[in-house]
Amino acid sequence: MLAAKNTEYGAPSVLTITDVERPTIADDQILVEVRATAVTQGDRRLRTADFPGIAAVFGRAMTGVFAPRHSIGGSSFAGRVVAVGAKVKRFKTGDDVFGSVMHGAYAELLALSESEAVAKMPTRTSYSEAAALPYGAITALVFLKDMAKVQPGERVLIVGASGGVGHLAVQIAKHLGAHVTGVGHRHEDQVRALGADEFIDYRAEDFTERGQRWDVIFDTTEGDHFRAYRRALSQNGRYLSLFLTVRILVEMMVTALRSGPRAMAGVALGTPELLDDLRELVDARVVSPVIAERYPLEQIVAAHTALETSRPFGCIVVDVTDAERVRMPVMVRAA
């Protein structure tokens, strides 16, 4: 089968299309013919071994000190189950599924346990659209719903609202009943179209100087900004950071012990339950995938380059198997 491998860390050009051995499955595993996968900032970090905060200390120890331990990257996927192990109960051959893994989705076939983050695909999406969802939407669900427990009527501010996580966080915050403010620079119209009630251009204005308060600030930009953003949080406000730093771990412990705004950070891991929730939201048209650009597997280097250079709005998708391969990138704008 074909796969995009990177046997060393580095620029997009380390990715090469290679013929590799087909995976075999254990009794509790399913074999998925990957139709589409996503190219995300998470995948870029793994490709370059660029681990932020305290992850810099143990990142390479986990992924390979001198070279990637798992040479086939790719985390979000959608595809068709083509084989199931003898003990598999949740899936059967022919099911369309989507999900997220730590590695292995940049390949025509992916073997994974049925207990991992995989679920039946939304009924209203193509494979490409389904692959565009897990990375950002699972992260937004974990942080906004599970961690911050956003309540209807709360004011939520999303820093980086036009990003890979942010554009799905806007939709999920709206679904939770929040008043949503997006902070970004480009793509204001698209962020508003996805449900943001307000948009603040960070290059023109510092939102912390508005004199306004938000109940939740979801910060998708690099670094821990709790101290700078604290004055824009309400008394019971929650600051959510996607970056684990030593400082935010200390802030989490300290703010958990006293009244006032709290700092929170963590790592979002997909589960079958979260994917089932996501499928329901997509089927109910509450959450919509936004595909920025599509590339065939052979052009995965161009897909990673686009992520780093043009940074389009929405998710960059790679069509993996023949069924959905395209010769040229297709631009799809947000509704």
Ligand X SMILES: NC(=O)c1ccc[n+]([C@@H]2O[C@H](COP(=O)([O-])OP(=O)(O)OC[C@H]3O[C@@H](n4cnc5c(N)ncnc54)[C@H](OP(=O)(O)O)[C@@H]3O)[C@@H](O)[C@H]2O)c1
Closest to ligand X by CB, 111 or 169: 169
Which pairing describes strands 29-39 and 16-19: parallel, antiparallel, or unpaired?
A: unpaired
Q: Considering beta carbons, is residue 26 or 331 the nearer one to ligand X? A: 331
Which one of residues 242, 281, 292, 303 is an interface residue with ligand X (CB under 6 A)?
242
The count of chain residues that interact with ligand X, using the rule CB under 6 A, is 24
Task: Please give the Cα distance from 142 to 161 (Å, whole number).
Answer: 16
Residue 139 vs 288, nearer CB to ligand X: 139
Which of 40-48, 106-114, 191-199, 208-216 is the region at the interface with ligand X (rule: CB under 6 A)?
Answer: 40-48
Determine the Cα–Cα distance for residues 163 and 224; give it in Å rounded to an integer.
17
By CB under 6 A, is residue 159 in contact with ligand X? yes
> What span, in angstroms and rounded, lies between the C-alpha atoms of 134 and 290?
12
* Distance of closest approach, residue 199 Cβ to ligand X, in angstroms: 11
CA–CA separation, 10 and 45 (whole Å): 10
- Minimum CB separation from ligand X for residue 119, in Å? 19
Establish if 274 lies at the interface with ligand X (CB under 6 A). Answer: no
Residue 293 tokens read as: 């650009």
Q: How far is the CB of 27 from ligand X (least distance, A)?
A: 31
Half-sphere exposure of 243 (CA within 13 A, CB side): 19
* Structure token digits, residue 200: 């603040």
- Residue 246 burial by Cβ neighbours in a 10 Å radius (0-12, 13-18, 19+): exposed
Q: Which is nearer to ligand X, 91 or 226 (CB)?
A: 226
Listed ranges 60-68, 90-98, 183-191, 227-235: which one lies at the site for ligand X (CB under 6 A): 183-191
User: Applying CB under 6 A, does 183 fall inside the site for ligand X?
Assistant: yes
Give the residue with the Cβ less far from ligand X, 92 or 185. Answer: 185
Cα gap 150→298, rounded to integer Å = 41
Please select the residue that binds ligand X; options are 71, 126, 181, 220, rule is CB under 6 A: 220
Which CB atom, from 12 or from 42, has the smaller least distance to ligand X?
42
| DSSP annotation of 293 | E
**Which of 184, 237, 261, 296 is in the footprint of ligand X by CB under 6 A?**
184
d(CA 105, CA 254): 39
Run of H or E residues at 127: helix 127-131
Which range touches ligand X (CB under 6 A), out of 59-67, 112-120, 180-188, 254-262? 180-188
CB 265 within 8 A of CB 244: yes
Residue 122 per-residue DSSP state? P
Choose which of 186, 227, 231, 333 interacts with ligand X (CB under 6 A): 186
Residues that bind ligand X (CB under 6 A): 40-42, 45, 139, 159-160, 162-166, 183-186, 202, 220-222, 242, 267-268, 311
